[in-house]
Amino acid sequence: MPDLFSPYDPKDQEEVMEKPGPAHNADKTAAAPAKDDLPLHRDTTVQAPNVRRSQLTRRHVFISLAASIIAGLVALYAAKNYVDQKISLMASNSVPASAPASIEGGAEKAAAEQIAALQKQVDVMRREQLLLQQNTRESLQGISEALKNPKLVPQAAPATAEQPGVPRIADMKPDISPTQEEFILLKERNRLAQYADEAIATGMRKPLEVLIEYMRDPDARHLHEAAKAEYMRAVRSVQFIQREDPGYRLPVAELFKNQNIRDEADVKPEALLKLLADQQQPWEVRLRVCFLLLGSELPETNAKLIQAIKEDPSLDVAKHAQLALEQRIKRRFRIFDIPAIEAWAESQKK
């Protein structure tokens, strides 16, 4: 088999071994035509490097493509990590912005709850104070009524000093020091001042009547002047205090339904007297009725006004009833001087 990578033919080698010498070689060369193996040698020498080069090129392309894919994946992973870091950073920055709002809202809610709890405590204390005042007033009224009832007054014990041999219990008096006595007197004065304050603040008749009872109580002579001073203070204040609205008018549409009355001037005196006697109506309504009764021609108008002065639970209504009576009869009285007003009414009957 011929060697493809050798530039010589084996037959030429045999011929050279058989006939050595330069002459023989020259003759042989001249006699026999030489063979041209150059085309075969060239084909073999060119084909082998081309195959190698194509294989290397394909391997290089594959390696480049794999490296590009790996670089793209690495870049994609890095971009994903960067985006995740940005999102987490934005979320962490947004949390502190909303945190103060939530903290502030919680603080406001806690403060509102504390204020509500304190308000409830204040309401409970105020309610207990009002109940205590009412119970004290009722107990004082019960004591005054009991003292006025002759059946409940204990009978005086017969004198046994002149009867020898009869046992007798000595009178016992509480041993009170001057300091304690002054303290008791101060508390009683404070109670009277409280009644006057209530009459001024509320305009109700009940506290004023309690002061009058103290003024007439024979067992409380040490409080007569104090009760009278508080009474005058309360009456003076009621005389000059204006609680009513100057522009108030009777709501005739509510008071006289289905009667086709459009204005308070159209209300008849009989209906006005009924409103004045009805203590369930608001005190503003009864007070306005006293003003509207100035032009009443009914003979019982003055008697109804006197009754309102004596019995109406509102001191403001009683005051305006007295003002209306004075303008009707053209005579003045001291404020709430009920004995003088009753004396005048008796004189008119005669």
Write down which residue in 240, 260, 288 finishes a domain: 240
Residues 182 and 226 in one domain: yes
CB 276 within 8 A of CB 308: yes
Would residue 206 count as lying in a domain? yes
Q: Which long-range contacts (CB under 8 A, 24 or more apart) does 275-279 make?
A: 276/304, 276/305, 276/308, 276/321, 277/304, 277/307, 277/308, 279/312, 279/313
Q: Select from 336, 329, 335 the least CA-distant residue to 344.
A: 329
Residue type, 66: A
Residues 296 and 270 in one domain: yes
Per-residue confidence (pLDDT) for residue 97, from 0 to 100 = 46
CB 208 within 8 A of CB 338: no
Write down which residue in 196, 216, 240 finishes a domain: 240
Residues 293 and 345 in one domain: yes
Query: Please, where are the H alpha helices in the chain?
Result: 10-18, 22-31, 38-148, 178-202, 206-216, 224-240, 252-255, 269-277, 283-292, 301-311, 315-329, 338-349
**Whole-Å CA distances, 229 to 181, 211, 225, 309, 316:** 21, 10, 6, 21, 20
Residues 6+ positions from 198 with CB-CB distance below 8 Å: 133, 204, 207
- Provide the residue range defining the domain that includes 224: 178-240
Would residue 151 count as lying in a domain? no
Would residue 107 count as lying in a domain? no
- Look at the chain and report how many structural domains it folds into: 2
Residues 220 and 267 in one domain: no
Q: Select from 248, 348, 239 the least CA-distant residue to 301.
A: 348
Residues 286 and 220 in one domain: no
Would residue 201 count as lying in a domain? yes
Per-residue confidence (pLDDT) for residue 86, from 0 to 100 = 78
Residues 261 and 344 in one domain: yes
Write down which residue in 193, 209, 240 finishes a domain: 240
Q: How many CB atoms lie within 10 A of CB 141?
A: 14
Q: In terms of C-beta density within 10 A (0-12 exposed, 13-18 middle, 19 or more buried), how is residue 39 classed?
A: exposed
Would residue 299 count as lying in a domain? yes
211/224 Cα distance (integer angstroms):
9
Would residue 83 count as lying in a domain? no
Residue type, 317: V
Residues 336 and 274 in one domain: yes
Residues 256 and 344 in one domain: yes
Residues 208 and 285 in one domain: no
Per-residue confidence (pLDDT) for residue 47, from 0 to 100 = 54
Token pair belonging to 95 = 């949390």
Per-residue confidence (pLDDT) for residue 231, from 0 to 100 = 93
> Which residues in the chain land under pLDDT 50?
1-46, 95-99, 152-154, 157-162
Residues 210 and 233 in one domain: yes
Per-residue confidence (pLDDT) for residue 37, from 0 to 100 = 47
3-state secondary structure of 44: helix
151 DSSP 8-state letter: T
314 strand-pairing partners: 204
Per-residue confidence (pLDDT) for residue 31, from 0 to 100 = 43
Residues 343 and 259 in one domain: yes
Residues 229 and 317 in one domain: no
Would residue 119 count as lying in a domain? no
Would residue 230 count as lying in a domain? yes
CA 340 to the chain's CA centroid: 54
